[in-house]
Structure 1
Amino acid sequence: MDVETLRERASDLPREPGVYQFRNGEATLYVGKAVDLRSRVRSYADPRSARIRRMVDRVDDLEIAVTDTETQALLLEANLIKRHQPRYNVRLKDDKSYPMVQLTAHEAPRIEITRDPAEAATVFGPFTNKGRLETVVKALRETYGLRGCSDNKYAGRDRPCLDYEMGLCSAPCTREIGLESYREDVQSAVRFFEGETGVLTDPLRRGMETAAESQQFERAAHLRDRLETVEAFHGDADDAVQSMGESQEHLVDVVGVAIRGEDATVARLRSDRGKLVDRDRHTLEAPATDDEAESAVPAVLAAFLVQYYAERQLPDALLLPERHGDPEVAAWLEAEGVAVRVPGAGREAKLVELALKNARQNVGRRDECGMLADALGLERARRLEGFDVSHAQGSSAVGSNVAFDDGSADKSGYRRKKLTDENDDYANMRRLVTWRAERALDGRDDRPDPDLLVIDGGRGQLEAALEALDEVGWDVPAIGLAKAEERVVTPDREYDWPRDAPHLHLLQRVRDEAHRFAVQYHQTLRDEVSTVLDDVPGIGPETRKRLLGRFGSVENVRAASLEDLQSVPGVGERTAQTVKERL
C-alpha cells in the first residue's frame, strides 16, 4: 500500500480506541492497538524503520475494530495475535486467549464463553477474569432463560432438557417460549454487555430482598454475592478489569528475556512472601528489528506481559530487566494495581539476573512442537492429548486422556474414564475417544481443543479412534505411536523417524505418560475390587498382588485350578486349597 493511500484510509478512521490489522490477501501481517486509531494508523505513512517500511509495502488491506476502552483494545490485540500469528508481531507460542462472550447467529441465539468466536456471532469482550465472567453468564441465563446447549442438542427435541427444569433455559427448542419473546430476552443480555447494568442487577436485587423477607437467608446471601460480582463486572474501566487496590506485594514475578535471531525466551520466577515458589520459561517468536539493542527486548516484554497473563493471577509487583515502553500496557498494569520496577541493585536486582540466566539457558532451543507440526504437515502442534486403555483380560477396563502444552505435561488437563469391561482394545479406544469428542462438541469439556491426538498403539487403535472422531464429527487430527518399532502411524502413511529426532521424543513422552496414567488408574480399580482376598488366611498384600497380576481379576482367581494357583510365588498347596474354599 503506498503512502498516500494509507493516509487517505487513516483519515476516515475514528479517533477512538481499537485494534487495526494490516493484511496481505488472506494473511494478517501485523496487529496493533491504539488509543486513537486515526492517529496511530496515519503514523505508518512515515515509517520509523526500514522493517516497518517493508511491511507497509506488502499491505493491501486494512481492518479495524473499535473498542469501548483502551484495555479492551489491549486484550483484543493479544487474542488476534494468538489467532492469526502475524509475521511482524512478537508472538507468545501456544498460550491462552482471553475469554469472550458470544451470542450465536441462530433463530434462538446461544450464549457462551469462548476464545474463538464465530464470525457471524454478536461478541463482547475480551475479559480477563473468567471466574467473574462465568458468574455473570450464569446469572443472565437464570434471569432470562438463555440457552447454553449446542445446536446439535437444540435441533429435533420433543421435550425440554434438564436446563429447563433447573431454570437455566426457557426452552425455545420446544417452544415453551415463543421465538420472538426469547429474542427479546437475548436483547436484554446485549444491553447488559453494552453497559446497562440494571438489566441484571435490578432482578438480582429484587430476588435477594424477596429471599430475605421469606427468611431464606442462604439464598439471599448467595444472591448478594452474585449481585456484588455483577456490579463489579463493568467497573470503572468498563471491561471487567478491576483494580487490585492496595497491595503488600506478597506475590512478585521476576522476568528475564534472552533473544537469539528470531527466537526469544522469557523466564519467569515467582516469589511468594520472599520465597521462590515457581519458575517457568516461555518461547516467543520475535521478528528481527532494525535496531535490536534499542527495541527488541522492550517489544518482547510488552508482548509477553499481555499475552501471558490471560486468566492468570497477576502478581502484586513485576521486576523487569528494563522498561517495556508500551504506554497501554503500563496503563493496564497500573489499573490492576501491579507495581512495575527495574531494580538496579540489591536483592531484587539479583533476582532479575537469575531470571536472565534462566532465559539464556533456553534461548534457541530446538522447537519440538514446531518440528512435529512441520513433519506431519499440520498448522500447529502445540497442544497434544494422549490416549491409552488398560485392563486385565477385559476386567477393570479404564481409559486415560493426558494433555501436553508446548512440550510439557499439563496435569490440570488430565482426565480418566471407566470403560466397559471387554477384552477388546479397539472397542475400548473407540469408546474413550467418542467420550472425549462428544464432551468437546457439547461444550462439557472446559479444556481447549487439542492440535493433535496421540493414540497409544498402531494401525488398529488409530483406526478405532478415527472411526470415533468421524462418527461424532470432531475435526481433530490423530496419529498412532506403537512401542514395538516406534513408528508414527497416520491415516495416510507411516513414518520411521530417526531415534534422536526431537519431535519423536515429544510423541514418546505423550504416549508414555498416557500409558502410565492408564495403568495407574487400572491398578487402583483392580485393588478396590480385590478386598475379598484380604480375608483369606495366608494371603498378604504381596501375594494378593501376585495373584491379581497373574490372573487379572478375583473372578479369574476363583476359576483357577489348584495347580494354576500354586504356580504363583508364595502360594503353596495349603494356601491354594484355602483360596478355593473361601472363594
Structure 2
Amino acid sequence: MNAEGVRDRAGSLPREPGVYQFREDETTLYVGKAVDLRSRVRSYADPRSARIRRMVDRADDVEIAVTDTETQALLLEANLIKRHQPRYNVRLKDDKSYPMVQLTDHEAPRIEVTRDPSESATVFGPYTNKGRVETVVKALRETYGVRGCSDHKYANRDRPCLDYEMGLCTAPCTREISAGDYREDVASAERFFEGETGILADPLRREMEVAAEERNFERAANLRDRLETVEVFHGEGGEAVQSVGDERAVDVLGVAIEGEDATVARLRAEHGKLVDRERHSLEAPGASDPTSGPAGDEGVGETGGVPAVLAAFLVQYYAERDLPDALLLPERHGDDEVTAWLEAEGVSVRVPGAGREAKLVDLALKNARRNVGRRDECGMLADALGLDSARRIEGFDVSHAQGTAAVGSNVTFVDGSAAKSDYRRKKLTDQNDDYDNMHTLLEWRASRAVEGRDDRPDPDLLVIDGGEGQLEAARDALADVNWDVPAVALAKAEERVITPDREFRWPDDAPHLHLCQRVRDEAHRFAVQYHQTIRDEVKTVLDDVPGVGPETRKRLLGRFGSVENIREASLEDLRSVPGIGQKTAETIKSRL
C-alpha cells in the first residue's frame, strides 16, 4: 500500500477503540491497537522507520476489529500477536493467551472458554481472569442450559448425558428442548456478554433468596459469591486482576537486545525476599533500532529498543498470570495504554535510580544479558526434524512394577523450559506390557485433544521415552484417534532419536539433542514419582513379606514414614524396629 492507499483506507474507519492488522494476502504482517482507529491507521501513511515503511509497502489491506474499551483493545492485540506471530511485531516466544468465550457456529451452539476461537464462532472477550470467566460460563449453563460438550459427543446420541441430569444442559441433542427454545437460551447468553448483566444476575439473585428462605445457607452463600462475580464482570470488561496490597509481591524486569532477539529476565520478590528468577526470549524485529515505531504508534510507544520490548512483554506475559503489586523496570516502556491498564489494576510501576531496588534491576539486567543471543535449540530441533516449529513439546513415559501400579506421565516444555502447570498423569490398567501401556497413554491424550476435552494447545512434537516399539505403539494410537502430531522416540542406551523414517545420532553436545533429553528425562522422573506414590498408597511389597504382619508393617511405616524410606534404610536401621530380626530385615531388603 502506498501513502495514498493508507489514507483512503483510514478515511473509512471509525473513530473508536480497536485493533488493526496490516495483511498481505492471508498473512498478518503487523498488529496494533488504537484509541482512535482512523487516526492511528492514517499515521502509517508517513512511518518513522524503514522497517515499518517496508511493512506498509508489502501490505495490501488493513483489517480492523472494534472493541468496547481501550483495555479490551490492549488484550485483543496481545491475543492476535500470539496467534498470528506477525513478522513486524515484538513477540514473546511462549503460547500464553487471554481466554475468550465462544458460541460455536452449530445448529445447537456450544459455549466454551478458549484461547483459540473458531473463525466462524461468535466470540466475546478477551478477558484476563480465567477463573471469573469460567464462573460466569457455569452460571449461564445452569441458568439457560447451553451445552458445553464437544460436537463429537453431541452427535448421534439416543439419550441425554450426565450434564442434563446435573442441570447444566437442556439436551438439544435428544430434543429434550425444541430448537427454537434452545436458540432463545443461546441468545440470552449472548445478551449477557454484550453487557446485559441483569439477564444472569436477576435469576441468580432470585435463586439465592429462595435458598436463604429454605435455610440452605451453603447454597445461598455459593450463589452470593457467583452473583458478585457476575455483577462486576462488565465493570472493566471483565479484565480486572486483583492486587493484594502492601507490595507483598514485586516483579523486577531486565531487558537485553541483540539484533532481532531479546531476553527479558524476571525476578520475583515476595515479602522482601527473592523467590524466583526466569528468563524469556522474544522475537523483536527492529527493536535494536531506537526509531522502530511509526509516529505515535501505540503498539510500541514512541521509540523502539527496550521500551518496545517492555511494552510487548508486559501485556503478553501477564496473560493468565496474576499481576504483582509492583513492577521495577530498567526504563519507562512509553506505552500510554499499558500504563493506564496497570494503573487500573493497582500496580505500582517504578524505575529506580538508586538503592536496593536499583540493585535488583541491575541483577535482572545481568540475568538478561547472560541469555540473549544464545542458540535457539527449539529452532535447531525443528530444522533437524523438518518441522515448522518445535516450541511446544510434550513428553510421555510409563512406569510400573512388573505390571502393578501402572501409570503414565505427560510433561510439557515450552521454548525449552518445563511448563509444569501443563503436566498431566494417568493411572493405567495394570499389565506388564510397555507397548500396550504406551498405546493406552497416547490414545488417552489424543482423544482428549480431538474431542476438545484438553485445554492445552496442541504440541508441535511428541517425545516418547523408549525405542522403536514404544514409538510404533504411540503412532498407532495417534492414527486410531486421527490426531496429526509428529512423534519421535529417544532410546536411552545410545541416545538415538528415532523417527518413523530414520534414526539420528546427533553429537553429544548438540543443543537440540539436549532438549530432547531434558524432555525424556523429565517424563521419566514424573512417571516414576507417580508410580511410587500409587504403589505406596494402594499396596506395598510389605504386604507380601514373610514375617511382616499388620503390626510389624505399622511399626515400620511409623518408624520410617513411607515405603520409599524403608527401601533406603540399612539392615541395622531395620533391625532397630521391634519384632524385626536379621532374617526378616534381609528379606525386606531383598523384596524392596
Judge conservation of contact 1:150–1:441 (CA < 8 Å) in 2. no
What corresponds to 1:55 in structure 2?
Answer: 55
Q: State the match for 1:284 in structure 2.
A: 282
Aligned partner of 1:341 in structure 2 is 350
Contact 1:537 1:575 in 2 (8 A): no
Contact 2:245 2:325 in 1 (8 A): yes
Q: Structure 1 counterpart of 2:542, which letter?
A: T
Query: 1:457-490 CA distances to partner (integer Å, 9 max, x unpaired)?
Result: 1222112111111212223221111112222222
Cα distance in 2 for residues equivalent to 1:260 and 1:246: 36
Q: Secondary structure at the match of 1:169?
A: coil
Over 3 Å counting, the alpha-carbon distance change for 1:534 and 1:393 in structure 2 is closer
Other structure's SS at 2:116 match: coil
Partner SS, residue 234 of structure 1: coil
Counterpart in 1 of 2:96? 96
The residue aligned with 1:259 is 257
Match of 1:140 in 2: 140
Q: Report what 2:472 is aligned to.
A: 463
1:274 Cα offset (Å): 1.5
Q: Is the 8 A contact 2:79 2:97 kept in 1?
A: yes
Alignment partner, residue 221 of structure 2: 221
Runs of 4+ residues over 6 Å off in structure 1: 538-542, 544-549, 570-576
Contact 1:241 1:336 in 2 (8 A): no
How many percent identity over aligned positions? 76
For 1:415-434, what aligned pairs fall within 5 Å after superposition? 415-434=424-443
Counterpart mapping for 1:386-425 below 5 A: 386-425=395-434
**Matched residue SS, 2:507:** coil
Distance in structure 2 (CA, Å) of the matches to 1:149 and 1:364:
45
- Could you say which residue in structure 2 is the equivalent of 1:153? 153
Give the deviation of 1:545 after TM superposition: 8.8
TM-score, structure 1 length as denominator? 0.90
Q: Deviations 1:185-227 (Å, cap 9, x if unpaired)?
A: 0000100000000110000001011111111111111101100
Is 1:448 the counterpart of 2:457? The answer is yes
How many pairs are equivalent?
Answer: 555
- In the alignment, what sits opposite 2:571? none
Deviation at 1:411, TM superposition (A): 2.4
Q: Distance in 2 between matches of 1:267 and 1:479?
A: 32
Is 1:301 the equivalent of 2:310? Answer: yes
| In structure 2, C-alpha distance between the alignment counterparts of 1:277 and 1:392, rounded to whole Å | 37
Q: Aligned to 1:292, what secondary structure does the other structure show? A: coil
Residue 288 of structure 1: how far off its partner (Å): 2.3
Residues in 2 aligned to 1:452 and 1:6: alpha-carbon distance in whole angstroms: 41
More off after superposition, 288-297 vs 77-86: 288-297
Question: Whole-Å Cα distance in 1 between the matches of residues 243 and 408 of structure 2?
Answer: 46
Query: Counterpart in 2 of 1:110?
Result: 110
Tell me the residue number matched to 2:24.
Answer: 24
Deviations 1:335-390 (A, max 9, x none): 11111111111221111111111111111111211221222222222221111112
Quickly say closer, same or farther: Cα 1:312–1:494, change in 2 above 3 A. same
Query: In structure 2, how many angstroms separate the alpha carbons of the residues matched to 1:525 and 1:342?
Result: 50
Q: Deviations over 1:40-65 (max 9, x none)?
A: 00000011122211111111121111
In structure 1, stretches of 5+ residues that fail to align are 550-569
Secondary structure in structure 2 of the residue aligned to 1:257? strand
Measure the CA separation in 2 of the matches of 1:206 and 1:106. Answer: 31
- Structure 2 regions of 5+ residues with no counterpart? 292-302, 569-580
Following superposition, the deviation at residue 320 of structure 1 comes to 0.7
Paired residues of 2:252 and 2:267 also in contact (CA < 8 A)? yes
Tell me if 1:531 matches 2:533: no
Q: Which residue of 2 aligns with 1:365?
A: 374
Counterparts in 2 of 1:525-564, with a 5 A limit? 525-527=534-536, 528-533=539-544, 536=547
Q: Matched residue of 2:304: which SS?
A: helix
Distance 1:249 1:290, change over 3 A: closer
Residues of 1 paired with 2:423 and 2:274: CA distance? 26
Letter in 1 for 2:489: G
Cα shift at 1:547: 13
Equivalent-residue separation in structure 1 for 2:586 and 2:494 (angstroms): 42
Alpha-carbon distance between aligned partners in 2 of 1:287 and 1:413, rounded to the nearest angstrom: 29
Tell me what 1:558 maps to. Answer: none
Partner of 2:519: 510
8 Å CA contact retained: 1:143, 1:200: yes
TM-score of the superposed pair, with normalisation by structure 2: 0.89
| TM-superposition CA deviations, 1:241-284 (whole Å, max 9, x none) | 23747932222111110111111010111122221122111110
8 Å contact kept, 1:95–1:307: no
Change (3 A) 1:461 1:537: closer
- Say whether the 8 Å CA contact 2:101–2:113 is kept in structure 1: yes
Alignment correspondent of 2:239: 241
CA contact (8 A) 1:246 1:337 kept: no
Match of 1:200 in 2: 200
Which amino acid counterpart does residue 196 of structure 2 have in structure 1? E
Q: Is this contact kept in 1: 2:287–2:308, CA < 8 A?
A: no
Task: Give the structure 1 partner of residue 573 of structure 2.
Answer: none
Q: CA deviation at 1:574?
A: 12
Residue 545 and residue 323 in structure 1: after superposition, are their counterparts in 2 closer, same or farther (change >3 A)? closer
Q: Secondary structure at the match of 1:516?
A: helix
Q: 1:387 to 1:243 in 2, by over 3 A?
A: closer
How far apart are the structure 2 equivalents of 1:96 and 1:70? Answer: 21
Structure 1 325/573 Cα, relative in aligned 2: closer, same or farther at 3 Å? closer
Which digits, 9 at most, give the CA deviation of each residue in 1:143-190, with x for residues without a partner?
Answer: 000100000000000000000000000000000001111011000010
CA displacement at 1:575 relative to structure 2: 8.0
Paired residue type of 2:209: E
Alpha-carbon distance, 1:398 to partner: 1.9
**Residue 501 in structure 1 maps to residue 499 in structure 2:** no
Q: Which residue of 2 aligns with 1:555?
A: none
